[in-house]
Amino acid sequence: MVRHQPLQYYEPQLCLSCLTGIYGCRWKRYQRSHDDTTPWERLWFLLLTLTFGLTLTWLYFWWEVHNDYDEFNWYLYNRTGYWSDWSVPILMTTAAAFTYVAGLQVLALCHIAVGQQMNLHWLHKMGLVAILVATVVAMSAVAQLWEDEWEVLLISLQGTAPFLHMGALVAITALSWIVAGQFARAERSSSQMAILGTFFTVVFALYLAPLTISSPCIMEKKDLGPKPALIGHRGAPMLAPEHTLMSFRKALEQKLYGLQADVTISLDGVPFLMHDATLRRTTNVEEEFPELAHRPASMLNWTLLQRLNAGQWFLKTDPFWTASSLSPSDHREAQNQSICSLMELLELAKGNATLLLNLRDPPREHPYRGSFLNVTLEAVLHSGFPQHQVLWLPNRQRPFVQKVAPGFQQTSGSKEAAASLRRGHIQRLNLRYTQVSRQELRDYASWNLSVNLYTVNAPWLFSLLWCAGVPSVTSDNSHTLSQVPSPLWIMPPDEYCLMWVTADLISFILIVGIFVLQKWRLGGIRSYNPEQIMLSAAVHRTSRDVSIMKEKLIFSEISDGMEVSDELSVCSDNSYDTYANSTTSPTGPQGSGSRATTLTDRSGR
């Protein structure tokens, strides 16, 4: 008769199966192991942690430089000759890669927390290497081609560092649960001291990090200066095509302090507004006059320039992702814009705003190459535009301009010593926002020099510059910044110090409590887990020895189950015991007889 052994019941562990299955494709119970992670897999864990840190840095950087996305796209346009918005696809790809790496990082930490052996699947390893290489290449490319943009990372930390510090405290406190578990499981005191020393070195360094944080927004509210004046960069280019009458009208509707414009001159001597060297990006020249598409804009007659459409490109390419928000009437108006002349801008802005004028020199073979500045200066003076409302940026022939138009506010586009600027009768500076520090702003202010920074589009950057005391900024996003009533955040130093110390104390108390709790929970767990003790001792043995040890453990469990089953069956069915004893005594080994006798004695028969 066939003896049926009792089946051992295992409670389903769905969360553990998903954990090991997603990370290493180990969905079955027998595929999991409590053995120590191999050195090779530990190396992969370190590589995963490195990739997580790099992708997090790259994601933070690319998110913060959204202030300069248009500048990035324009730079690529000059390199490739094709306009496309590369910034948003890069942001989405970076976010997807970071989410994937962060998920693997969480799964790896969960493996450590539950004591499971890590075994990253080869597909994840390939994806991890691909993301790491792509991130390093992207960061290297930015460092070489857009070197100044890394300054944005340091500037952004002035606005986000206090909040990033709080987030880091939460993360390190949560991570202490895993570290405390490893500390409690460690058998050697040297290992425990190494874990404890390394972890608390990082913790205390994080606690003291605010000593290095310097933000202009950590100040008394009474010391906050006036809101920076806004200058529309080429009008209002997020609401209308740049350098068109519609764009400048939209800017004037917002009651801005001034308008910025780039001036060049046509082949027949008419000053007009154009930023690019050619007409390809901002007009339909490729459709109307394909043979003139690559010719410099200033090498065409004004009558020909007036025939081009300067608004359809805005609706087609949507450079700021704002074209869909236009009303139907604005949409029709934008579609019918033409190139704007300097005289049209002067008539529109007269008495309404200040003008920041920058001149774009024509090619050397241009007939007005030598007299371009004189023609432009004459157009401004003859228009009747108030001289004190003109910010004159060109550095060429400045003494002549000062003599002819003494009322102009002479503006320098280069960073120089304050004393040198004052000797040149410079009243203003027009610099990129990454070129000047708070101390330099104070130095220029002490010499009565006003500083205008460009191009400021993000509210967080505008708030930071507001707290730093910047007098004015040039912006593409003036319609949004004009609605900002106050800096996004401002905090007195005493209040920030109290918040910092309180957060550190709460984090420290929680970490100590977690270490005590984990030591109490896991301190003696290895003494009561024979399977873990038996198999962990075989880490450095051959696979054959480990297999034999597992088989012995399994057979011992089966043998124990047989004894319990026999006892239960004897008490319930005496005839079955009699049959079993009669069949096993003649043919079984010597031990079988004693086993049958023992069972008979236990049944009382």
Query: With left for phi above 0 and alpha for psi between -120 and 50, is residue 367 left, alpha or beta?
Result: alpha
Structure tokens at 391: 């910010």
pLDDT in tens, 152-184: 999 999 999 999 999 999 999 999 999 998 898
Q: What is the pLDDT of residue 490?
A: 94
3-state secondary structure of 432: strand
Structure tokens at 344: 């049209």
pLDDT in tens, 432-467: 999 999 999 999 999 999 999 999 999 999 999 999
Question: 349: pLDDT confidence band, cut at 50, 70 and 90?
Answer: very high
Q: How many other CB atoms are found less than 10 A from the CB of residue 317?
A: 15
For the residues 481-488, what does the mean pLDDT come to? 95
Question: 551: pLDDT confidence band, cut at 50, 70 and 90?
Answer: low
286-310: b (≥16 Cβ within 10 Å) or e: eeebeebeebbbbebebeebeebbb
Cα diameter, the chain: 131
Q: Residue 430's beta-bridge partner residues?
A: 452
Q: Is 52 exposed, middle or buried (0-12, 13-18, 19+ CB in 10 A)?
A: buried
Taking the mean position of all CA atoms in its chain, how far away is CA 452? Answer: 28
Q: What is the pLDDT of residue 555?
A: 56
Residues composing the chain: 605
3-state secondary structure of 491: strand
| pLDDT at residue 542 tops 70 | no
| pLDDT at residue 567 tops 50 | no
Question: 78: pLDDT confidence band, cut at 50, 70 and 90?
Answer: confident
Name which of 474, 69, 72, 84 is nearest 281 in CA terms. 84
- Tell me whether strands 229-233 and 258-265 are parallel, antiparallel or unpaired: parallel
Q: What is the pLDDT of residue 595?
A: 37
Identify the DSSP state of 359.
E
Percent of the chain residues past pLDDT 70, beyond the cut = 83
Q: How far apart are CA 459 and CA 487, in angstroms?
A: 8
Phi, psi of 83 (to 5 degrees): -90, 125
Contacts 24+ apart (CB under 8 A), 520-526: 521/184, 522/181, 522/184, 522/185, 523/184, 525/185, 526/185, 526/187
Place of tokens 């120089």: 416
| pLDDT at residue 547 tops 70 | no
Say which residues have a Cβ less than 8 Å from residue 64's Cβ, sequence separation at least 6. Answer: 152, 153, 156, 160
Name which of 183, 229, 272 is nearest 453 in CA terms. 229
Q: How far apart are CA 197 and CA 204, in angstroms?
A: 11
Q: How far apart are CA 135 and CA 54, in angstroms?
A: 7
Q: What one-letter code names the amino acid at 466?
A: W
Structure tokens at 325: 């928000």
CATH tag for 229-275+315-325+339-481 (out of 3.40.640.10, 3.20.20.80, 3.50.50.60, 3.20.20.190): 3.20.20.190
Domain limits, the chain: 14-218+493-528, 229-275+315-325+339-481, 530-603
| Distances from the Cα of 398 to the Cα of 403, 448, 520, angstroms | 9, 20, 79
Q: Is 46 exposed, middle or buried (0-12, 13-18, 19+ CB in 10 A)?
A: exposed
For the residues 213-242, what does the mean pLDDT come to? 95
> In this predicted model, which residue has the larger pLDDT, 553 or 52?
52
Q: Residue 272's beta-bridge partner residues?
A: 264, 341
> In this predicted model, which residue has the larger pLDDT, 291 or 555?
291
Q: What is the pLDDT of residue 570?
A: 42
* DSSP H stretches of helix in 360-492: 372-382, 398-404, 418-423, 438-446, 459-468, 478-481
* DSSP H stretches of helix in 146-277: 150-185, 189-207, 245-253
Structure tokens at 529: 């887990």
| pLDDT at residue 575 tops 50 | no
pLDDT in tens, 35-61: 677 899 999 999 999 999 999 999 999
